[in-house]
């Protein structure tokens, strides 16, 4: 599946069972692999303000490997 990065920003992320997870605020790239690694539900500066960045990141990221479809919304598999 090929999409432009600019198409991902602001899209709602929904699980395949219908739960709304949030909107894409940031896209994290894996430059070594040449692919999208994560979609973030918060901006990086917001994550950094919380203190424990690792915990905030783990709660607010979606592995791109979970993405099943990108259209009007982004459909992801459940964990």
The C-alpha atoms of residue 50 and residue 63 are separated, in whole angstroms, by: 21
Burial 27-44 (b: 16+ CB within 10 A, else e): eeeeeeeeebebbbbbee
pLDDT in tens, 15-61: 999 999 999 999 999 999 999 999 999 888 777 776 677 777 788 89
Domain with 22, as residue range(s), is 5-76
Which is it for strands 26-30 and 35-40: parallel, antiparallel or unpaired?
antiparallel
Residue-level pLDDT at 28: 92
Contacts of 34 (CB under 8 A, 6+ apart): none
CATH number of domain containing 42: 2.30.30.240
Number of domains in the chain: 1
For the full predicted model, state whether its pTM sits above 0.95: no
Strand partners, 61: 40
């Amino acid at each position: 599946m090929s999409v432009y990065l600019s198409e991902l920003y602001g899209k709602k992320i929904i699980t395949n069972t219908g739960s709304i997870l949030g909107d894409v605020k940031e896209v994290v790239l894996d430059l070594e692999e040449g692919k999208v690694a994560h979609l973030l539900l918060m901006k990086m500066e917001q994550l950094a303000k919380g203190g424990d960045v690792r915990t905030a990141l783990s709660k607010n990221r979606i592995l791109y490997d979970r993405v099943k479809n990108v259209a009007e919304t982004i459909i992801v598999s459940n964990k």
